[in-house]
Amino acid sequence: MYLIHARLTGPPGLELPDDLKARLRAQVTGTTSIEHVTPHPDAQGGPVLGLFVAAPSLVEAERAAETACLRVLRSHPALAGCGLDRCGAAFVAPVFEADFRLRPGRGGPGRGTGPGLPPS
């Protein structure tokens, strides 16, 4: 499961339609699926959709999310004039930082240095 963020462009005060979640989920079939959609209409920089995508790989999850968003943006009358600024995996820094600190050879237990890392 991958968290993909889709940032929308549109007029100020854009209201996301009530059926947006269902329309997005209906766009994907096969081994990839959009399991959950969380809209953030008031996000800084414009509305953001958090799409939880079950897919065999990150590349496939990003592709499915982008395709679903573009299809809905093109077909939903309430979203006429809106666009997709970007669509990609969300980076959750605290999760990766914790993982990095706990790995042996990465400054965590074991205190060694890994490939390409300076000595600690």
Q: Give the domain extent around 70.
A: 2-102
CATH code where residue 77 lies: 3.30.70
119 within some domain: no
Q: What is the pLDDT of residue 98?
A: 59
Of 67, 92, 93, 72, nearest to 82 by C-alpha is 72
108 within some domain: no
The per-residue pLDDT for range 32-81, each reduced to its tens digit, is 999 999 999 888 888 999 999 999 999 999 999 999 999 999 999 999 88
22 within some domain: yes
Q: State how many domains the chain has.
A: 1
Q: What is the pLDDT of residue 92?
A: 64
Residue 12, both tokens: 């100020």
Q: Is the distance from CB of 106 to CB of 17 less than 8 angstroms?
A: no
Of 50, 80, 86, 82, nearest to 66 by C-alpha is 86
